[in-house]
Amino acid sequence: MRRALTAVLGAGALLLAPQAAVASPAPPAHGSLGKAAAATGRVFGAAITQVHMDERAYVSTLDREFNQLTPENELKWETTEPTRGSFDYAPADQLVRHAQSRGMKIRGHTLVWHSQLPTWVSDISSRRELLGVMRNHIWNVAGHYSGKLHYWDVVNEAFEDGTGARRDTVFQRVIGDGYIEKAFRAARAADRKAKLCYNDYNIDGRNAKSDAVYAMVRDFKRRGVPIDCVGLQAHLTLGNVPSDIRENMQRFAKLGVDVHVTELDIRMQTPPDSAKLATQADDYRKVVSACVAVPRCKVLTVWGVTDKYSWIPDVFPGEGAALLFDENYAKKPAYRAVIAALRGKHPGRPS
């Protein structure tokens, strides 16, 4: 938080001739990601892991830079309901309390997803039973945080790449196509105020998968199914921001839903070098500029604070360096590109 410069006057100050006012120091050139986003009516968030909250640099960067927080794993089913009917909110509660103490908005991720799912859920073969279990999970978890969370990723990654067909999950197999709608209706019953989102990867540009999501959202809006937003995860590779990302955001917005960039990172072959970092900066600029150009694109979230703890090297060996802060929490060229894009400028051009 900026501190105003205050002049402290002595007891005899009234006897002195009037002095020129002392100018407050100029605001920082960049401010912070959260402040720059807030100036455009948006939030800029990060996915946060509770296990790192005892690291000073991690927390100070979070608090300084971001005005929205997404628990990375703490609200997933395997954590919140590892045993049927037994709920554990302690890890997520810690993050929620921290976000509230800093005035951050909070994203719930995620209520229904085929991954990080306890075995006991995957073993259910009765439609009636699984539907009851899903609704009970949503009512309990979303209900526990009702009034505290601003957004929920209600259903995550329900469509296949390439074809846009429904992904073969226990929910799809046992409940059928209607499970997504039923999940959204249960989430609305549990929390009347949170924005309810569908979230997926590789729907950043127009393709068979994003077309399928678009058709679902259009159908939901026509029939009054409660859906407020679509999350474009934006896990991207260097130099491969879809050329039609802005148009894709706009077509969803025209359906009457907000658009969120929910898990942004842009990975490269490591180690990074100046050329790769410059390309990455331009890629981040493209994504953020697209969002700023679409009034209903309200949220930008990066999937992590620092390259030190990114998920990418574990999943894509030899790749990484995908975030805005390096392993030592230094700001990368992409950071400056994001700030410039939020301010409607191109990095390197005069203000």
Beta bridge partner(s), residue 199 = 156, 231
Quote the CA–CA distance of 198 and 203 in Å, as a whole number. 11
Alpha helices (H) along the chain: 33-38, 56-65, 77-80, 90-101, 119-122, 127-144, 170-174, 179-190, 208-223, 245-253, 274-293, 312-315, 333-342
Quote the CA–CA distance of 200 and 230 in Å, as a whole number. 8
Check 157, 181, 247, 319 and give the catalytic one. 157
Check 78, 129, 263, 319 and give the catalytic one. 263
What are the angstrom distances between the C-alpha of 168 and each of 95, 161, 216, 264, 335?
A: 32, 12, 17, 25, 38
Residue 292 — φ and ψ, nearest 5°? -60, -30
Q: Could you write out the DSSP letters of every residue in 231-294?
A: EE--EEETT---TTHHHHHHHHHTTT-EEEEEEEEEEEESSP-HHHHHHHHHHHHHHHHHHHHS
Quote the CA–CA distance of 211 and 162 in Å, as a whole number. 11
Tell me 351's DSSP state: -
**Are 228 and 258 contacting, i.e. CB atoms less than 8 angstroms apart?**
yes
- Distance linking the first and last C-alpha atoms of the chain: 23
3-state secondary structure of 181: helix
**Are 324 and 36 contacting, i.e. CB atoms less than 8 angstroms apart?**
no
Longest dimension (CA), the chain: 87
Q: Within 10 A of 256 (CB to CB), how many other CB atoms are there?
A: 12
Catalytic-residue membership of 157: yes
Quote the CA–CA distance of 63 and 99 in Å, as a whole number. 9
Catalytic-residue membership of 327: no
Q: Which residues are catalytic?
A: 157, 263
